[in-house]
Chains A and B, each alone.
Chain A
Amino acid sequence: MKTEILKIAAAHLKPFLLILSLVVLYRGHNEPGGGFIAGLLAGMAYVIYAGAFGVGKAKQLRLVKPMFFMGLGIGIALFSGMIGLMNGADSIFTGIWTTLTLGGFSLKLGTPLLFDLGVYLTVAGMLVKVIFTVMEEDV
Chain B
Amino acid sequence: MLGVVPASLFFVFLSKIPVVGRGDAFKEVYPWLSELGIGLSFNLDGLSLFFALLVTGVGALIMIYAGYYMRSYQKTNRFFGYLVFFMAGMLGLVTASDWITLFMFWEFTSISSFMLIGFKHEKTAAREAALQALLITGVGGLALLAGLIMMSLPYHSFSFEAVISDPQPFLQSSLFVPATILIMIGAFTKSAIFPFHFWLPGAMQAPSPVSAFLHSATMVKAGIYLLARLHPVMESQELWIYTLSVFGVVTMFVGAWFALAQQDLKKILAYTTVSALGTMVLLIGTSTAYSVTAALVFLLVHAFYKATLFMMAGNIEKITGTRDMNQLGQLNRYMPVATVISLLALLSMSGIPPMIGFIGKELMYEAKLNAPAAGNFILLTGFLANAFTVFVSLRFAYGVFWGEKQGFKKQPHEPDVSLLAGPAVLVFISLLLGIFPNQIAGLLGPAFQSILPGETLIKLKLWHGFNEILLLSFLTVLLGVVMFFCRKAIIRIVSYLNGNYFNLKLSQRFFAGIDVFLNLTKRKTAVVQHGYHRFYLMTIFIAAALLLILTMPAIDFQFDFDLKFNGLAFFAMLAAIMIIAGSIAVVVAQSRLVALIATGFVGIGITIVFVLYSGVDLAITMVMVETLTVVLGAMVVYHLPKYLNYSGVGSRIRDGFVAVFFGFVMGFLALQTSKPTTITKISDYFVENSYTKAFGENIVNVILVDFRALDTLGEIVVLALAAIGIVSLLKLNAQKKSSR
CA A110 – CA B695 in complex, angstroms? Answer: 10
Q: Is B716 in contact with A95, judged by CB distance below 8 angstroms?
A: no
Which residues of chain A come closer than 8 Å to B720, judged between CB atoms? 70-71, 73-74, 122, 125-126
Q: Is A123 in contact with B719, judged by CB distance below 8 angstroms?
A: yes
CB-nearest residue of chain A to B625: A40
Q: Is B712 in contact with A115, judged by CB distance below 8 angstroms?
A: yes
Query: Which single member of B635, B705, B710, B712 contacts A134 (CB below 8 Å)?
Result: B635
The 6 closest A-B pairs by CB, nearest first: A93-B709, A30-B697, A126-B723, A32-B616, A122-B716, A112-B705
User: Does residue A47 face the partner (Cβ distance < 8 Å to B)?
Assistant: yes
Which residues of chain B come closer than 8 Å to A116, judged between CB atoms? 701, 704-705
Q: Is A32 in contact with B698, judged by CB distance below 8 angstroms?
A: yes
CB distance from A92 to the nearest CB of B (A): 7
CB distance from A6 to the nearest CB of B (A): 13
Query: Which single member of B709, B719, B733 contacts A112 (CB below 8 Å)?
Result: B709
What class of interface size applies to chain A in its complex with B?
35 or more
Interface residues of A in 94-116 (CB under 8 A from B): 95, 97, 108, 110, 112-113, 115-116
Q: Is B731 in contact with A133, judged by CB distance below 8 angstroms?
A: yes
Q: Is B624 in contact with A40, judged by CB distance below 8 angstroms?
A: yes
Given contacts A32-B620, A41-B624, contact A130 B705 (CB under 8 A): no
User: Does residue A119 face the partner (Cβ distance < 8 Å to B)?
Assistant: yes
CA A80 – CA B705 in complex, angstroms? Answer: 10
User: Does residue A36 face the partner (Cβ distance < 8 Å to B)?
Assistant: yes
Which residues of chain A come closer than 8 Å to B620, judged between CB atoms? 32-33, 37
Query: Which single member of A115, A126, A131 contacts B705 (CB below 8 Å)?
Result: A115
Interface residues of B in 583-623 (CB under 8 A from A): 616-617, 620-621
User: Does residue A31 face the partner (Cβ distance < 8 Å to B)?
Assistant: yes
User: Does residue B638 face the partner (Cβ distance < 8 Å to A)?
Assistant: yes
Query: Which single member of B616, B698, B706, B723 contacts A93 (CB below 8 Å)?
Result: B706
Which residues of chain A come closer than 8 Å to B575, judged between CB atoms? none
User: Does residue A78 face the partner (Cβ distance < 8 Å to B)?
Assistant: yes
Q: Is B698 in contact with A118, judged by CB distance below 8 angstroms?
A: no
CB distance from A128 to the nearest CB of B (A): 9
Interface residues of A in 1-55 (CB under 8 A from B): 28-37, 40-41, 44, 47
Q: Is A119 in contact with B723, judged by CB distance below 8 angstroms?
A: no
Which residues of chain A come closer than 8 Å to B695, judged between CB atoms? 29, 95, 97, 108, 110
User: Does residue B631 face the partner (Cβ distance < 8 Å to A)?
Assistant: yes
Q: Is A31 in contact with B705, judged by CB distance below 8 angstroms?
A: no
Which residues of chain A come closer than 8 Å to B696, judged between CB atoms? 29-30, 112
Q: Specify the main secondary structure of chain B where it touches its partner.
A: helix
Interface residues of B in 621-648 (CB under 8 A from A): 621, 624-625, 627-628, 631-632, 635-636, 638-639
Q: Is A131 in contact with B632, judged by CB distance below 8 angstroms?
A: yes
CB-nearest residue of chain B to A123: B719
CB distance from A43 to the nearest CB of B (A): 9
Q: List 15 A-B contacts (CB under 8 A).
A: A28-B698, A29-B701, A31-B697, A44-B628, A66-B723, A73-B716, A77-B709, A77-B716, A119-B712, A125-B723, A126-B723, A129-B723, A130-B723, A131-B631, A133-B730
Q: Is A134 in contact with B632, judged by CB distance below 8 angstroms?
A: yes
CA A35 – CA B617 in complex, angstroms? Answer: 11
Q: Is A40 in contact with B726, judged by CB distance below 8 angstroms?
A: no
Which residues of chain A come closer than 8 Å to B625, judged between CB atoms? 40
Q: Is A126 in contact with B698, judged by CB distance below 8 angstroms?
A: no
Which residues of chain B come closer than 8 Å to A97, judged between CB atoms? 695
CB-nearest residue of chain B to A94: B706
CA A93 – CA B719 in complex, angstroms? Answer: 20
User: Does residue B700 face the partner (Cβ distance < 8 Å to A)?
Assistant: yes
User: Does residue A135 face the partner (Cβ distance < 8 Å to B)?
Assistant: yes
Q: Is A129 in contact with B617, judged by CB distance below 8 angstroms?
A: no
Q: Is B704 in contact with A36, judged by CB distance below 8 angstroms?
A: yes
Given contacts A44-B624, A74-B717, A133-B727, contact A92 B702 (CB under 8 A): no
Q: Is B710 in contact with A40, judged by CB distance below 8 angstroms?
A: no
User: Does residue B722 face the partner (Cβ distance < 8 Å to A)?
Assistant: yes
CB distance from A31 to the nearest CB of B (A): 6
Query: Which single member of B621, B700, B701, B727 contacts A130 (CB below 8 Å)?
Result: B727
CB-nearest residue of chain B to A34: B701
CA A51 – CA B606 in complex, angstroms? Answer: 27
Q: Is A31 in contact with B698, judged by CB distance below 8 angstroms?
A: yes
Q: Is A33 in contact with B701, judged by CB distance below 8 angstroms?
A: yes
User: Does residue B337 face the partner (Cβ distance < 8 Å to A)?
Assistant: no
Which residues of chain A come closer than 8 Å to B621, judged between CB atoms? 36-37, 40
Q: Is B709 in contact with A134, judged by CB distance below 8 angstroms?
A: no
Query: Which single member of B628, B636, B709, B713 contacts A127 (CB below 8 Å)?
Result: B628
CA A37 – CA B617 in complex, angstroms? Answer: 8
CA A13 – CA B705 in complex, angstroms? Answer: 28
Given contacts A81-B710, A133-B731, contact A34 B723 (CB under 8 A): no
User: Does residue B734 face the partner (Cβ distance < 8 Å to A)?
Assistant: yes
Which residues of chain A come closer than 8 Å to B694, judged between CB atoms? 95, 112
Given contacts A41-B624, A81-B709, A112-B702, contact A34 B617 (CB under 8 A): yes
CB-nearest residue of chain B to A135: B635
CB distance from A9 to the nearest CB of B (A): 15
Given contacts A34-B698, A44-B624, A138-B638, contact A112 B706 (CB under 8 A): yes
Which residues of chain B come closer than 8 Å to A127, judged between CB atoms? 628
A29-B697, A137-B730 are known contacts; what are 15 more A-B pairs with Cβ within 8 Å? Answer: A28-B698, A29-B702, A30-B697, A33-B617, A34-B704, A34-B705, A35-B705, A37-B624, A71-B720, A93-B710, A93-B713, A97-B695, A112-B694, A134-B730, A138-B638
Query: Which single member of A28, A92, A133, A138 contacts B701 (CB below 8 Å)?
Result: A28
Interface residues of B in 357-409 (CB under 8 A from A): none
Given contacts A34-B617, A34-B700, contact A78 B713 (CB under 8 A): yes
Which has the most chain A C-beta neighbours within 10 Å: B631, B709, B712?
Answer: B709
Which residues of chain A come closer than 8 Å to B706, judged between CB atoms? 93, 95, 112, 115
CA A135 – CA B727 in complex, angstroms? Answer: 11
CA A4 – CA B577 in complex, angstroms? Answer: 37
Which has the most chain B C-beta neighbours within 10 Å: A28, A71, A81?
Answer: A28
Which residues of chain A come closer than 8 Å to B638, judged between CB atoms? 138
CA A137 – CA B709 in complex, angstroms? Answer: 35
CA A108 – CA B639 in complex, angstroms? Answer: 49
Q: Is A137 in contact with B716, judged by CB distance below 8 angstroms?
A: no
CB distance from B578 to the nearest CB of A (A): 22
CB-nearest residue of chain A to B729: A133
CA A33 – CA B617 in complex, angstroms? Answer: 6
CA A28 – CA B632 in complex, angstroms? Answer: 27
CA A81 – CA B621 in complex, angstroms? Answer: 25
Which residues of chain A come closer than 8 Å to B716, judged between CB atoms? 73-74, 77, 118-119, 122-123
Which residues of chain B come closer than 8 Å to A35, judged between CB atoms? 704-705
CA A35 – CA B108 in complex, angstroms? Answer: 35
Which residues of chain A come closer than 8 Å to B734, judged between CB atoms? 136-137
Query: Which single member of A47, A78, A122 contacts B631 (CB below 8 Å)?
Result: A47
CB distance from A88 to the nearest CB of B (A): 14
Query: Which single member of B617, B632, B713, B727 contacts A81 (CB below 8 Å)?
Result: B713
CB distance from B293 to the nearest CB of A (A): 46
Which residues of chain A come closer than 8 Å to B700, judged between CB atoms? 34
Query: Which single member of A77, A112, A119, A138 contacts B639 (CB below 8 Å)?
Result: A138
Q: Is B722 in contact with A126, judged by CB distance below 8 angstroms?
A: yes
CA A78 – CA B706 in complex, angstroms? Answer: 12
CA A40 – CA B631 in complex, angstroms? Answer: 14
CA A89 – CA B293 in complex, angstroms? Answer: 48
Interface residues of B in 252-298 (CB under 8 A from A): none
CA A34 – CA B625 in complex, angstroms? Answer: 15
